[in-house]
Every structure is written in C-alpha cells, then in structure tokens.
Chains A and B, each alone.
Chain A
Amino acid sequence: MDEKLSNVFTQWDEKTQKTLGKYPERKHKFVNASDLEVKRVYTPLDVDPNYTEDLGLPGEYPFTRGVQPTMYRGRFWTMRQYAGMATAEESNARYRYLLAQGQTGLSVAFDLPTQIGYDSDHYLSQGEVGKVGVAIDSLADMEMLFDNIPLDKVSTSMTINAPASVLLAMYIAVAEKQGVPMNKLSGTIQNDILKEYVARGTYIFPPTPSMRLITDIFAFCYKNVPEWNTISISGYHIREAGSSAVQEVAFTLSDGIAYVQAALDAGLDVDDFAPRLSFFFNSHVDFFEEIAKFRAARRLWAKVMKERFGAKNSRSLMLRFHTQTGGSTLTAQQPDNNIVRVTLQAMAAVLGGTQSLHTNSRDEALALPTEESVRIALRTQQIIAYESGAVDTVDPLAGSYYVESLTNQIEQGAWEQIQKIDAMGGAIKAIEKGYIQKEIQDCAYTWQRSIEDKERIVVGVNQFQVKEAPPQGLLRVDASVGEMQARKLKTLRSTRDTNAVEQALANIDTVARGRENVMPAILDAVRVYATLGEICDVLRKVFGEYRPEDML
C-alpha cells in the first residue's frame, strides 16, 4: 500500500465530501449494469496487481490480456453475421451477399423446428418454418444452403444444440460432395445444451444422453475434424435471459466445467479436446464492465483448466470466444439509435479481445434484419477495425485503475458463484434444481423494475420519447415457406432409397442404446437422406424427452 498516496487520497476525499452539499452528484449512489457500486474515482489504491501473475503478457498465462501475442495487429477478429431465413435457397443468397461484402465467416441461423429436431411438416412446426432461421430437413437442403460456397475456404458457425450431431454430419456430407475431406473443415457448432435448459429453450433430450451426444462429438472431431470447434459454451443467452455480467461469467464457466468433467468421465484426455472448446459471450450496455468481463473470464478459465483439470497444452487454457452485441438492449423505439448502441458494444468486445463478432442490426427488436440493416451492422465492425485505431495495440485498457479493479471484482464474484454451484454438485444439478434459472429470473425482474421506476434510463423508451410512425420496409418471411418445405419433403421421401434409410435409422437405434460413438451412424443416415426429424425421433425413443423442472 502506498502510504503517501493513501494520505493524499484521504485528504482529497474529505475535501470533496465537503463540496457535495453545494455541488451534489447526480445520484446518491452509482451502480453499474450488474448493480456493482461504482466509485467516484479509482486509483492504485484499488488495484494492486501482481503484474506477471494477474495480467501477464498477451498470448501467455493467465491470458488476461488476450489469447494471442499480437491480437488484431496480426489479423482482425472474424466478422461473422448470424444469418439465415426461410429456405436454403434464400439463405444461400444472403451468405453469398455477405461474403461479397467482406464478411470473413458464415454463421448459420436455423429455424426452430430444425433446432428442436422436427421436420417442416410436423404438426408442431406449423407457423414456425423458416421464421427465425433457415429450415433444414435433410441433406438436400444443406446442399442447397452451401451451394457454390467452397467449404474448405470459409469457416462456418452453426447455432445448433440438441441436434448438433445431425447438422454437423450434414455439413460433413456436403463437404464430401464438394470433394473436401472432413479434416479440412473449420467452424463451430454451438452444441451447448446446458444453457438451453437454462435460457434458450431448444432442448430435446434429458441431460444425461445430451451430455453423451456432446462428448461423442468431442471424441469424433478430435480424430476426424481436428479444426472444428466442437462446442461454443454460451453466456450470450444467459445474459439475454436477464442475468448480470458476473452471473454470465459464472454460469457459463460452470457449464464449461460440466462439459470438461463429462468428457473426462467419458475417458477423453483433457488436452485432446480442451483446445477445441470455445465460448460465446454477450456484449451489453455497460462499456467498461463488459471489457472487464471478457478479461476476467479469460483469467478465470485459464486458472480452472490449469489448477483443477491439470491441462498442459496452453491452447487448453485459452478462453477463445465469439461475441454478439446484446439483442435485448435494442429498442423498438427510435430504432436508428440502436446503431449507436451496437457501436459501443462492439467496441467493448474488441477492447475485450474477442475472436469473432456479430453486430446486431438496428431493426432486430422489430423483425429479422433487412439487407441494408445488416450491412450497416457489418460496416460498424469495419469502421472499428479500419478507422478507430483502437485495434493497433493489444489490450489497450490494461492498467486502467477502473478496468483492472472491475476485472478483479467480476472474477471474484463469478468465482464465488461457481463455488456455490460446485457445492450443489455442479451445473447439471443446479439446473435440475432450477437454481440457475431462478437467479437469472430474479435479476431480470429487478432490471425491468429499475427501468419502470426510471432508476435506469433507456433512451427513447422511458425518456426522450418521440411520436414516431411505424417503421417501414421490415423483412417478412413468406408464410408459404412451410408448405414449400413440406412439398420438398414429400418428393424426397418418394425418391430416396427407403431401405437404406430404414436400415440407417435402425442402426442409430442400436448404437444409441449401446455405448459406441453415435456420430458415424448419424453420418451414414444423413448420407442416404434420412431427415433430421426421423433421426431425432429415433433418439427421442431411446433417450426420452426433457421436461423442465421450471420454477418461477
């Protein structure tokens, strides 16, 4: 402790207190977006880092400053806009447009029936086909989706969880048809079922078989698709569901710990699969807190992997992550203001050292984004990359008293939560008890109240409102997409080799009941055009379906 500074600070503080009567501050108490108190000023008294241990250098343990030594001086983050709607044909056109605009990776959004393993002609799919993403029923749709997109040249991220094995198998099969072997493929599947139970809702099977499907993918990819990120452990949706930044880190890393443990229990070696684990975070409204959050998450994960799981490979210790700006921070009111929000959030993600980034479009609180809105969102990233200068040095905010202090605070808060979850028996148990869900809901309700009580101002929503005309030119998905997909399915079912399909499905049933890896059986089934729904039905029969123990 610097005694001289301490004395000077005390004097200054007393002096300032005296002036408050005359010049009061705007609020009695300042808190950030996670309700952590924000002090008037931060000094070295607030942070006393052991530089080499707590911060280190970029690309080195504990990776607080970033996972690569040169970061964006070497290469920018991957600019990856999540997109997909309606049919494979339409989505394919959007991907080619985005690639032509300078986007560097694809990110596929699937519709809800696909995410929950129902074919487009299933009763429960009514009204949902093609709505929040592209409808994929079989390999035929997948071939169309990546038509004329060379899969050895792009990296593709797929937001798919419960039926991730099936969609990954389809991707591999499309690549085969393009003449690209699977060991040349790169990309990511989300494959994070735990946050589905907690926050996003597209689960199918109960936890135990779901974890088995996930670890089967880990094992399969380690041998056959080595460049594939086998999971994207997601805090994004946890945050969207209403958690704080500290909870986002805590619950996400707790999920991560559960996956690592499951893989170890399945007999895998930590350094065989851990380098392919990736993460996915939200970038929310509170600028400095978000930057600190990313740094804290990296440091915490590195410590967990090293100290708890004894990982040796430095890539196993690195928390690599994708970021999306906060969807729930977008407002339907004065939607152009969202461009500014997204800019701040994107900047925070970049200053926090993200590996890839999706910037939301201004109209997403209203509908799926139009092409023009998506372009502005992509341009936002390009302006940060090419014009702002913020990317030319690594981790430029390191050493800021405030940011370092916040980084410590978030790390500590998250660690306490993780220990609490450990004490319950880990993330799966905590989810089954509804603990994590309840924590998030409480936080979401408090947030909503603070907006309604005007403790928090959301520009255009609870202050600075204007009368506005309804927005024009929103993107609409044609209601006939469902019928179109149903027709395609009908044709498919009458033209494919029925015997081969039945055999392949029977084989999945057998393998699923045993202990063998299910990936090869699924791959065989998609190759003969078994549909996603058919494959998932077999698995539903074997594994059962998840029913939430949801509490409010």
Chain B
Amino acid sequence: MQAVNNLLERLEARDIRALARAISLVEDSEEGASELLASLSPRLSGSRIIGITGPPGSGKSTLTSKLARDFLDRGEKVGLLLIDPSSPFSGGAILGDRIRMQELSGRDGIYIRSLGSRGSVGGLSQATARVLRLLEHFGFSVIIIETVGTGQAETDVVETVDSVVVVAVPGLGDDIQAMKAGIMEIADVFVVNKADKDGADRTLRQIEAALQMQEGQGMHKVPVLATVASSGQGVTELVAALDAHYKYLADSGELQRRRERRLRKELIGYVTSVLMSDFFARSQADVDAKLADIIQGRTDVYTVGRFLSRKYINERVERDAKQD
C-alpha cells in the first residue's frame, strides 16, 4: 500500500521512472497492480490511441517513429508501445523495435516502451490494456501501439485502439488476394510503405479495388496512402488522414462506441484473468489427477470439465459464505 501510494505520488509528479516502474508492475501482475490501477481516475482521458499493424519487413517501426516525430513536432505528448513476440518456450523475448526509434532519442514529451507479448496472440501483449490506462493517466495526448505484426488480422488491436493503420509493402504477398483474411476489414487507414520500390502502383491499385468491394457498411472511406518511411515521404499525409479519421470518429459517435467496446474488453479481460489464476491456484492438483483418468480412457474431457468447474464454483460459494 505504501509502495502504491508512493508510486501514485510520483506519477502525479510526472516522474518517468515511476511510469516505467508502474508499467512493469502491471505487466508482472504483481501485488498492488490492480490496487494501483483502481486508484487512477476512472474516466477515460482524451488520449488518442493509434494502432499500427502489418507484416514483418513492412517497415512499420520506421513508420511509427516518423509518425511519432510529426506528432511531437506539433506539440503533442506521445507515448509509444512497441510489442514484440515472446518465446512460447522460454517466455523470454528480444525486443528490437527500439533500434528504429533512434531519431526520437533525447526529445522531450515522448515515452517509448517495448513490451513482450507474453502469451497473448492477438497482436498486443497481455497487459496492453492496463499499460494504456497508465499512459492515459500520465497525460499523453497521442498513444501509438506498434503490434507484433504477424500479417494476420490482429483482432485485439481493433478492440483496443481508436484508429487502425494497416501497413503493406509492394510485392510482399504479391497478390492482394493472398493477404490474410480479415486484414482488409480492420483498416481505418491503409498505407503502402516503401512506395519507391517496384510494383508500388500495382499494390496501391489492388488495395483500392479490394476496399471498394467491401465498402458500404461504414460511412468512413478508408484512405490508401503511399509512404517511404525511411525518408519520411508521405508521413504528413498519413497524419492528416489520421486526424480526419479521428474527427470522423468523434462526429459520428463511433468514438464513443469504440471506447465502450474497449472498456468491455478490458473488464472481461480482467475478470477472466482473475478467475483463471484462482482456478489454477486451487484446482491444479484436481486437473492433474483427472487428466490421468482421461488419458487412460476411463472418462472424457467434457465430463471432467463439467465436474471440475462445478466443483470449483461450489467450493468458491462455500468459502465466500464462510467469510461473510
């Protein structure tokens, strides 16, 4: 409690070390994490949250860096979350996106944080929602999340951010048909990066055609932009497109809907994780014992599953009754 209060005070004082520490705290789900988060202001702040997704090699890190630079240049306070995959075997990760953020170093008003996905498969990390909460509290006006970037439709991103930027490159997955299912649908803004390479025009045209086919359900027409992140070409236009999209969100009421969706996801996510860890903490021995029976063919997964969940719920009810 003492530690949380101390951290809160330092967060109020806009101490970057405290922010960094607090993020680790909520990432590690250590004691005090939910306490800390519960102590923050309950209202969502006015931070704009932008997600950048795209396959490996599409240059999305460099693009993220340029985008952050442009927002900084116009006086925004920018928080960057760079997410890389954790190894499913060791749980460790090499977080290398920061390499491409060199030109942001030494600047005021920006905070960059690399996160390992830690078992999450939706393109974000386990703790992204909680980390966002801290960044918003800290007062960043723009928060940019660079996703793991598998090239798949990373659905967690859609449910977490206000605007999704999908980055593609010429020649990558040569045919637009080959783009992973769902990726067209999640884009609020489409970018063809490395547009100085051969085949850029063709890729642009293909994406535009594909987007036309799915138009109609929304009011927002998804812009398709050409950029060369390494030289900064097209970044101004990207910022303008994002501004326009944000205005559209606010004007149409869509912003409110997206934020509600995010709150729902965050709430359910939190409850799920609490329940799951409690279940495993209490029922691990049962699971192991019953698993042996299943493997021997004496019973099946579903019978055991029903039994274990009922047993857990009943015990929980009894325990709570006693406590009352």
Tell me if chains A and B make direct contact, with any CB pair below 8 A. Answer: yes
Q: Which residues of A contact B (CB under 8 A)?
A: 206, 433-434, 544, 547-552
The answer to whether the Cβ of B102 comes within 8 Å of any Cβ in the partner chain is: yes
> What's the Cα separation between A270 and B231 when bound, in Å?
33
Other A-B pairs beyond A434-B57, A547-B100, A550-B96, 14, CB < 8 Å: A206-B230, A433-B57, A544-B231, A547-B62, A547-B102, A547-B230, A548-B99, A549-B57, A549-B59, A549-B100, A550-B99, A551-B96, A552-B94, A552-B96
Contacts of B99 in A (CB 8 A): 548, 550
Contacts of A433 in B (CB 8 A): 57
Contacts of A206 in B (CB 8 A): 230
Contacts of A548 in B (CB 8 A): 99
> What's the Cα separation between A551 and B57 when bound, in Å?
10
Smallest CB–CB gap between B316 and chain A, Å? 44
Contacts of B102 in A (CB 8 A): 547
Residue of B nearest to A429 (CB): B197
Residue of A nearest to B57 (CB): A433
- Find residues 216-271 in chain B having any chain A CB closer than 8 Å to their own CB: 230-231
> What's the Cα separation between A229 and B301 when bound, in Å?
73
- 1/0 contact trace for B263-304 toward A, CB 8 Å? 000000000000000000000000000000000000000000
Residue of A433, A434, A547, A548 with most chain B CB atoms under a 10 A cut-off: A547
Smallest CB–CB gap between B232 and chain A, Å? 10
Contacts of B94 in A (CB 8 A): 552
Shortest 9 CB-CB contacts between residues of A and residues of B: A552-B94, A552-B96, A550-B99, A433-B57, A551-B96, A547-B100, A547-B102, A550-B96, A548-B99
Smallest CB–CB gap between B233 and chain A, Å? 12
Contacts of B57 in A (CB 8 A): 433-434, 549
Residue of A nearest to B62 (CB): A547
Residue of A nearest to B94 (CB): A552
A sample of 17 inter-chain contacts (CB < 8 A) reads: A206-B230, A433-B57, A434-B57, A544-B231, A547-B62, A547-B100, A547-B102, A547-B230, A548-B99, A549-B57, A549-B59, A549-B100, A550-B96, A550-B99, A551-B96, A552-B94, A552-B96
- 1/0 contact trace for B93-104 toward A, CB 8 Å? 010100110100
> What's the Cα separation between A549 and B193 when bound, in Å?
14
Residue of A nearest to B96 (CB): A552
- 1/0 contact trace for B9-21 toward A, CB 8 Å? 0000000000000
Residue of A nearest to B198 (CB): A425
Contacts of B231 in A (CB 8 A): 544
Smallest CB–CB gap between A411 and chain B, Å? 31
> What's the Cα separation between A433 and B171 when bound, in Å?
13
> What's the Cα separation between A170 and B200 when bound, in Å?
43
Contacts of A544 in B (CB 8 A): 231
Contacts of A549 in B (CB 8 A): 57, 59, 100
> What's the Cα separation between A446 and B133 when bound, in Å?
41
Contacts of A434 in B (CB 8 A): 57
Residue of B59, B62, B99, B102 with most chain A CB atoms under a 10 A cut-off: B99
> What's the Cα separation between A295 and B96 when bound, in Å?
39
Contacts of B230 in A (CB 8 A): 206, 547
